[in-house]
Structure 1
């Protein structure tokens, strides 16, 4: 079937009134201010009678609302629908293509983790194609202070929750580089928030470096963290700013896919 035949087949089953309703909705979404019936009809070339019936139907279902001066804007129903869509998103499925892109552009192994019972829980992993493979696995847990994803999560936790986790889990030493002092750890978290990504430099395992960044949702709630993991010899100190920024941008892209509207991560943490 050629393109002309396909187009004819697709338009054969169109519902004209529904097409007009969708055009009205999309137009109201694009406009900064409410629009009157006459302006809508002129812009969309829709007869006033058709527009009147469509607008009344949409208004009765709260898809649009009428302002005091008789103009129209989108209604609250779309907030309910968008919230439902966002709540049903599987963050693993959503993040996977971004993780693959980060893996392919950096050539490092990529992890996705969430906070679970005061620990970082790996929920997805994209292994690099190199000779060295890391023994991390989906379902593995890491203490917050010895993993990149853990530090990225910890940096954006409310202070009472962070204190509760540190009281319960402590800051046990894993290597000579591990931060074991709570005040020092909190100072490190301030640095993470200021630069937008965390650095875990042989703090959990000698010879291994991780760079990680947080992921937020539409309600600006912390949802997860993403990281790259590399051998120290494969990720030199001079490369950290560039790769760290790449991780941060990937985390921001995933956040925006979840509905996060800010262009930067928060500097201050909630009380």
Structure 2
């Protein structure tokens, strides 16, 4: 309440109400949402029934939406979403940091497994760490955002390599080699190719004390709406915390999380490519 001399004025903040809606716009948005939910195109009669709108109004709205490429008409006179939405969604995705999409899923994976979670991208032939969520464990790993690792020495690196074009990875390995870090490190190209084939078959990469003794990682790729590999996500744990018997269970958690993030980026498949 705001008071002035000799009078008092009560300011009431009103919440948005349906009475302020633009009816035609409201119906247009409802039509778009209905078409998005349906697997197959819809005829005018079906749209009118689902949206509860007269045919005359429906035709005006549909023609307007079609004129702006928000919907397309099929040869048999039915309607489906148009390509304009692909343009808009791509624009939105390009303006947003992948970490914004991934953060809640990374948090969920950390809470579900109890392990530290990393995200990395391919940069100049190396795995570049772009995000990290530290677990509540008393053990803290020395990895940090901005750190780089050779592809064969980390879970994220192996996942990125496995799902990248083979010729690209072969050139990277020719340039950087496969230096040995531990007794478990993969040091030959033929062995690395075999490992990448196994990764694609199971949908996630395992790094078993190959970069550091006593540490295991499990990683999976992240794809965007163009079916392009953009990053990889991983969990990192001590060997004593992650047994061989638990790897498949945790691996599937990592894979599921990577698919969820990928779908937020517009990826439409339920599995990652095998070949």
Q: Aligned pair count?
A: 264
Q: Hey, what's the Cα distance between the residues in 2 that align with 1:43 and 1:267? A: 40
Q: What residue is the counterpart of 1:213 in the other structure?
A: 220
Unmatched segments (≥5 aa) in structure 2:
1-12
Deviation per CA, 1:32-72, whole angstroms, max 9, x where unpaired? 44333344323322123322221221121111223344333
Please give the TM-score of this superposition, normalised by the length of structure 1: 0.92
CA 1:104–1:62 in 2, change beyond 3 Å: closer, same or farther? Answer: same
The corresponding residue for 1:156 is 163
RMSD: 1.9
Give the Å deviation of 1:140: 0.2
Superposition pairs of residues 223-262 of structure 1, within 5 angstroms? 223-262=230-269
Q: The residue matched to 1:233 in structure 2 has which SS?
A: coil
Note closer, same or farther for the CA distance 1:99–1:16 as it changes in structure 2 (3 Å cut).
Answer: same
The alpha-carbon deviation at position 15 of structure 1 amounts to: 0.8
Shift, 1:7, TM fit: 10
Decide which of 70, 93, 105 is 1:63's aligned counterpart: 70
Q: Distance in 1 between the 2:142 and 2:49 partners?
A: 63
What's the counterpart of residue 3 of structure 1? none
CA distance in 2, matches of 1:7, 1:264: 48
Unaligned runs of 5+ in 1: 1-5
Q: Does residue 1:196 correspond to 2:203, yes or no?
A: yes
CA distance 1:106–1:55, change in 2 (3 Å): same
Residue by residue over 1:80-130, the C-alpha shift from the partner in whole angstroms, topping out at 9 and shown as x without a partner, is 112222322311111111111111111111100000000000000000111
For the residue of structure 2 that corresponds to 1:234, the secondary structure is: coil
For residues 208 and 68 of structure 1, the distance between their equivalents in structure 2, rounded to whole angstroms, comes to: 59
